[in-house]
Amino acid sequence: MKRPYILYFAPGSGLGHLNRALAVCLELRDLGANAAIVTNSPFAEGLAPLAQLPFTCIAGELWERAAPAYLAREDPELVVLDTFPFGMRGEWVDFEFKAPVLYMARRLKVPAYREALPSLPEFSRFRRIIACESLTTDHDTLIASAEVVRLPGPIRLRPGVVATAAPARLGRIVNSRESCLVVHGGPVPEIHELLSHASGDIALITPWIGEDWPCPAFEYYPAANLFERAARVVSGAGYNTIADMLPYPERHTAIAFARRFDDQAGRLASPRPAEDGTRQAAELIAGLLQ
């Protein structure tokens, strides 16, 4: 890739971290910055051609050793670490970074993270920390030694940025006056719980198409392209769908699911500003290249 460039590390087995990374890196591209995403998500291979953005996929069982080795070989101008400041498995705890490092801070259950990584380095190692949403008090305390910039609103993959045509049947359901989109890439039991809150003309958007669902199911990405047209959306309380539905709060039913590190209940209980923080996040990242 043409230098200078940014490596954005977005580990996670689902679409969540990948979606946020994609939104930021596409915005960076608009600013003239070269960015590539490194992830262990199995969905990255399908997203790469849609977004026309470079992805490197590292298998989850290899991530702890392979991700640092890949970074050492690539030697980028800037490193971005999403959600996990020292990695999911501590892969960055002892790593000697040559380039400036930026941490994208999403709500994190700090006690659980400390349990997983008992010895955390100083957060002063980060050139900048971007708070992508309101954080817990213990999270704020943890990062207080670094430069922290708080976005005015969440990072969103704006509708139409990845212009994927919806299947005809899905389009007809969305255009129905009683349309209800159930959107979730999480475990199958959680999807069934979300479906129990749905009514009307229901369509399920999920990567788990092979299941025996009680309604039409579609593997469509990004779901945010359809939210403006849907009469109602039912989802979990993950970062991305909460951010995507901020313009339409009266149409959104969100259910907080238990996650080891993600504080979904806290996110639902926190004030949710409607301003889009994506461009500012990209500017704060690109500014470290200058």
1 — pLDDT class (breaks 50, 70, 90)? low
User: Stretch 24-34: mean pLDDT, rounded?
Assistant: 94
pLDDT at 290: 65
Task: Indicate if 111 and 181 belong to the same structural domain.
Answer: no
Model confidence, pTM? 0.92
Number of domains in the chain: 2
Q: Do residues 20 and 147 both lie within one domain? A: yes
* Contact (CB, 8 A) for 227 and 181: yes
Concatenated DSSP letters for the chain? -PSSEEEEE---SSSHHHHHHHHHHHHHHHTT-EEEEEE--TTHHHHHHHHT--EEE--GGGHHHHHHHHHHHH--SEEEEES-TT-SSSTTSS---SS-EEEEE----HHHHHHHSSS---GGG-SEEEE-S---HHHHHHTTTS-EEE-SS-----TTSS-PPPPHHHHHHHTSTTEEEEE--S-HHHHHHHHTT--SEEEEE-S-TTS--SS-EE--S-GGGGTTT-SEEEEE--HHHHHHTTT-GGGEEEEPPP-SS--HHHHHHS----S--HHHHHHHHHGGG-
For residues 230-253, average pLDDT: 95
137/185 same-domain check: no
Assess whether pLDDT exceeds 80 at residue 206: yes
Domain encompassing residue 246: 168-269
Residue of 25 and 50 predicted with greater confidence:
25
Q: Is residue 177 part of a domain?
A: yes
17 and 125 inside one domain: yes
**What mean pLDDT is predicted for residues 229-239?**
96
Mean pLDDT, residues 37-49 taken together: 80
pLDDT band at 2 (very low <50, low <70, confident <90, very high): low
Please say whether the beta carbons of 39 and 19 come within 8 A.
no
Identity of residue 238: G
Domain-located, residue 159:
no
Are 179 and 263 found together in one domain? yes
Q: Is residue 197 part of a domain?
A: yes
Answer yes or no: is 61 within a domain: yes
Taking 70 as the threshold, does the pLDDT of residue 4 lie above it? no
Q: Same structural domain for residues 37 and 141?
A: yes
135 with 176, same domain: the answer is: no
Q: What average pLDDT does the segment 88-109 reach?
A: 95
Residue 103 domain-assigned (yes or no): yes
* CATH code, domain carrying 229: 3.40.50
Identify the pLDDT of residue 141.
94
Residues 18 and 45 in one domain: yes
Q: What's the mean pLDDT in 203-219?
A: 94
Return the pLDDT at 53.
84
- Are residues 142 and 28 located together in one domain of the fold? yes
Mean pLDDT of 70-78: 94
Specify whether 17 is located in the same domain as 73: yes
Closest CA to 183 of 224, 211, 155: 224
- What is the rounded average pLDDT of the residues 112-119? 92
Residue 160 domain-assigned (yes or no) = no
162 in a structural domain:
no
Please compute the mean of the pLDDT values over residues 83-101 and round it to a whole number.
94
Q: 53 in a domain, yes or no?
A: yes
Regarding whether 285 and 219 lie in a shared domain, the answer is no
Q: Inform me whether the pLDDT recorded for 235 exceeds 70.
A: yes
Instruction: Check which CATH number belongs to the domain holding 61 and give it.
Output: 3.40.50.2000
Q: Residue 24's pLDDT band (boundaries 50, 70, 90)?
A: very high
Query: Does 17 share its domain with 140?
Result: yes
Is it the case that residue 41 has pLDDT exceeding 90? no
For the segment 168-187, the average pLDDT, to the nearest whole number, is 96
% of the chain at pLDDT higher than 70: 98
Task: Give the integer Cα–Cα distance in Å for 188 and 190.
Answer: 5
What pLDDT shows up at residue 19?
A: 87
The predicted structure's pLDDT at residue 15: 74
pLDDT at 10: 93
